[in-house]
Amino acid sequence: MIIDILTIFPDMVAGPLRESIVGKAIDRRLVEVRVFNIREFATDSHRTTDDRPFGGGSGMVMKPEPLAAAIRCVRARTPPPVVVLLSPQGRVFNQELAWELSRQQHLCLVCGRYEGIDERIRHYHVDDEISIGDYVLTGGELPALVVLDAVVRLVSGVLGSSQSVEEDSFASGLLEYPHYTRPEIFEGHRTPEVLLSGNHGAIRRWRRQQSLLRTWQRRRDLLEQIELSSEDRELLTEAIQEEAEN
């Protein structure tokens, strides 16, 4: 998979690309990530990438010429990319969208700045827009890294095992169950006995029940989006009753 990032602040994204899962995926050549400085596509001596908005108003707007030139440069590569603008006006990013993007061979993530980009770029040069949430950031670099991290870990071979991906929060539409590790007792608090039992069936049942309960407690909107089996409903009802009794 190829992921290109277009930005006027390449140093903002360069560091994280060398670390953790993403860095290892790049080293193993499972993913190729290229960072393009949009300023290099400006033609004036000052490498200008922004200008005042027509019609007046505060702030600056990213000029269309450098952005268009950068996108055309990336589009010239085979396979051509899906060009994604990180924008508060885009589709809200979630796990389903991460899976959708992970199936692409080539992505181009465009990082906006200032008050936004010239609308003609959005209309004629961008294939999709993605938002990572309803809040304001100074630019698209951090959202681009969020999208990249979520997508890269879904690329075949990156995590080494499909089980980790399948058990992630949101992978099944639910929040993930609680995790415990050594020591068995920490500050007087014990690890649930079922996790020490060696009974894999009981462990799977407990984890599913805890996942259902945690989603019910924290994100009931997610439960409304999935169809629970009769067993799931029984597990959830049992867990809610136990919580009430405790």
Question: Could you give the CA distance from residue 162 to residue 181 in angstroms, rounded to a whole number?
Answer: 21
Does the pLDDT value for residue 167 go beyond 60?
Answer: no
| pLDDT, average across residues 109-122 | 95
Question: Could you give the CA distance from residue 188 to residue 180 in angstroms, rounded to a whole number?
Answer: 14
Q: What residues does 3 pair with on adjacent strands?
A: 33, 107
Does the pLDDT value for residue 168 go beyond 70?
Answer: no
Question: Could you give the CA distance from residue 123 to residue 128 in angstroms, rounded to a whole number?
Answer: 10
Query: Looking at 66, 81, 143, 153, which residue is catalytic?
Result: 153
| 171: helix, strand or coil | coil
The pLDDT value given to residue 9: 97
CATH of segment(s) 167-245: 1.10.1270.20
Domain boundaries in the chain?
2-160, 167-245
Does the pLDDT value for residue 162 go beyond 60?
Answer: no
Does the pLDDT value for residue 235 go beyond 70?
Answer: yes
pLDDT tens digits for 216-228? 999 999 999 999 9
Query: Looking at 168, 176, 178, 205, which residue is catalytic?
Result: 168
Question: Could you give the CA distance from residue 1 to residue 105 in angstroms, rounded to a whole number?
Answer: 5
Query: Looking at 4, 88, 122, 141, which residue is catalytic?
Result: 88
Lowest mean pLDDT among 55-59, 124-128, 201-205: 55-59
- Is 168 a catalytic site residue? yes
pLDDT tens digits for 8-48? 999 999 999 999 999 999 999 999 999 999 999 999 999 99
Cis peptide before 16 (omega within 30 of 0): no
How many CA atoms, within 13 angstroms, populate the side-chain half-sphere of residue 170? 11
CATH of segment(s) 2-160: 3.40.1280.10
pTM score of the predicted model = 0.88
- Is 118 a catalytic site residue? no
The pLDDT value given to residue 246: 82
Query: Looking at 40, 65, 115, 129, which residue is catalytic?
Result: 115
The pLDDT value given to residue 160: 78
| pLDDT, average across residues 50-59 | 94
